Chains A and B, each alone.
Chain A
Amino acid sequence: MNTLLHVDDLRVSFPTRTGVVEAVRGVSFSLGQERLGIVGESGSGKSQTGRAIMGLTPQQAEIRAKRLEFSGIDLLKASPAERRALRGNRVAMILQDPKYSLDPVMTIGRQILETLRTHEKIGKSEARERALDMLAAVQIRDPKRVYDLYPHEVSGGMGQRAMIAMMLIAGPELLIADEPTSALDVTVQLDILRILDRLVIDRGMGLIFISHDLRLVSTFCDRVIVMYAGKIVEELKASELSRAKHPYTQGLLNCMPKIGTSRHPLPVLDRQPEWLL
């Protein structure tokens, strides 16, 4: 298995007027043609890690790393134009908050169409066919209708799937999926995961799957990274997530309500200061 992505000691900090916010504090991992899960609570730096790899970090942020390399290309040294070219074709990211990422005044179909046509020179009607196929592929019933709807006219889950469809069009080698299924019902969730799974198995895509759904991550991914306050506190095989050693990971697992158990109130995380170190 060849390694697609090397991340060594990645740091992302935001100089704000009230001091420096260190969003990511020394994250290292490498990714082959596999599914890597990143879990952790809100604000632990999962999205910022993904964005740094994509080159989508806000301008004012400072990124440092000993090594940040995608299939032989040093991402830190790449010019903005090179990164844009990479972003368009070889790496893609499904952003969190689909409602924010979709343009509220353009129909879903138009948005997919535009993405498609920036990648390939194809005719209008063919592009439309492809966009409809894409919508059908992400399990949207009645793609023809959804094609002409505006973002506020589709359900939460449909918006999220439209985003996924847009990102899959380019056929990336590396896909960073930031909470791609948080608004989907469980059966559609699995359908989407199956699509991603096929891309990894058949096309050798590398997948970084960011999620706070530990149950999904543990059954879907190969490896899992657990983040807390910008650092990796634990890395383990996904199937062994339930045997995690770190009290933080155990706490996260423990506070999910499960069918058939009744715990009122639910236990909540008791954060310890030493986890920050």
Chain B
Amino acid sequence: MTPALSIDRLRVVYDDFIALKDVSLTVDKGESFGLVGESGSGKSTLLRAVAGLAPVTSGTIDVGAKRLGKTRDKEFYRQVQMVFQDPYGSLHPRQTVDRLLLEPLDIHGFADTEKRIQRALDEVGLGSGFRFRYSHQLSGGQRQRVAIARALILEPSVLLLDEPTSALDASVQAEVLNLLEQVRRDRNLTFVMVSHDLGVITHMCERLMVMQTGAEVERLEASDLASRNVTKDYTRNLLVASEGFVREP
């Protein structure tokens, strides 16, 4: 079986700063893969490089059987979509939910827009009451639902999730995570998910990669984290740190 996404020795350089140092990764169809690691270690950059928003210097990215070039064509965006970290920054401030969802359909020339918008809203549990609201009339959780609806409306097979719940409180986070799990099951989606909350990653993903300073530290099964079966010091530190704050005497 061809994997849904495979990345080989991907390198991203900004000016002369190497944000991503030859990272490789394959994600099978229907799998959910997690990325954790230090802040600034290139997790977002990895997702953005796949999406065509970061400059790739060397290495290759394959989505399905197709190798991606420098530019992404329209077809690509029907296969891969992304949800951003900040629900307050990822919705256009002057557009209604309706307009936000119409835009991708319009770009790709869908005819049955009415039905699709309705269905997308139902799927994320928003209903039509929210359809003509502006983003400032929505709470953080509702915004993130709209962002998910927008990402799903083109029926992609791969969803890139950049800390989709880190700006949300615990109760809303649970709702959004449940929603994501459900759409993944319903549509057999492939997830690549960034989070700094190890609890969230083990809840959502089967496998994960730990990153530091633009490079891979180690690769684990989610169950390894639960059983503390890790080999690298950095990962161990992460595990200790996620227990909470310890005041030194």
Q: Which residues of A contact B (CB under 8 A)?
A: 40-43, 97, 99-100, 140-141, 145, 153-158, 161, 179, 182-190, 193, 197, 212-216, 218-220, 251-253, 255-260, 262-269
Interface size on B, residues (CB 8 A): 53
Q: Nearest-CB distance from A182 to chain B (Å)?
A: 6
B178 touching A266 by the CB < 8 A rule?
yes
Q: Which residues of chain A have C-beta atoms less than 8 A from B38's C-beta?
A: 185, 187-188
Which of chain B's residues have a CB closer than 8 A to the CB of A263?
A: 203
Contacts of B242 in A (CB 8 A): 186, 215, 259
A259 to B85, CA, bound (A): 22
Indicate if the CB atoms of B170 and A252 lie closer than 8 Å. Answer: yes
Contacts A156-B86, A212-B169, A219-B246 given; indicate if A268 touches B237 (C-beta within 8 A): no
Task: Check if B170 sits within 8 Å of A212, measured CB to CB.
Answer: yes
Contacts known (A100-B88, A155-B44); A43 close to B139, Cβ less than 8 A: yes
Chain A nearest CB from B218 CB (Å) reads 15
Query: Given contacts A155-B39, A260-B202, are A97 and B88 in contact (CB under 8 A)?
Result: yes
Point out residues on B near A: beta carbons under 8 Å. Answer: 14, 17, 36-41, 44, 85-86, 88-89, 139-141, 163, 166-175, 177-178, 181-182, 196-200, 202-204, 213, 225-227, 237-239, 241-247
Q: Can you name 24 A-B pairs with beta carbons within 8 Å? A: A42-B140, A42-B172, A100-B89, A155-B40, A156-B39, A182-B167, A183-B39, A183-B166, A183-B167, A185-B37, A185-B238, A188-B38, A190-B241, A212-B169, A212-B170, A220-B245, A251-B171, A257-B177, A257-B204, A259-B199, A260-B227, A264-B203, A265-B177, A269-B171
A-B contacts at CB below 8 angstroms, number? 146
Bound Cα distance from A4 to B171, whole angstroms: 32
| Cα-based distance from A182 to B106 in the complex (angstroms) | 35
**Which of B170, B177, B198 contacts A214, CB < 8 Å?**
B170
| A183:B244 contact, CB within 8 angstroms | no
Q: Are A257 and B199 in contact (CB under 8 A)?
A: yes
Bound CA–CA A197/B245 (angstroms): 10
Within 8 Å CB of A190, what residues of B? 241, 245
Known: A155-B44, A219-B246, A266-B178. A257 touches B200 (CB 8 A): yes
Please, which residues of chain B bring their CB within 8 A of the CB of A212?
168-170
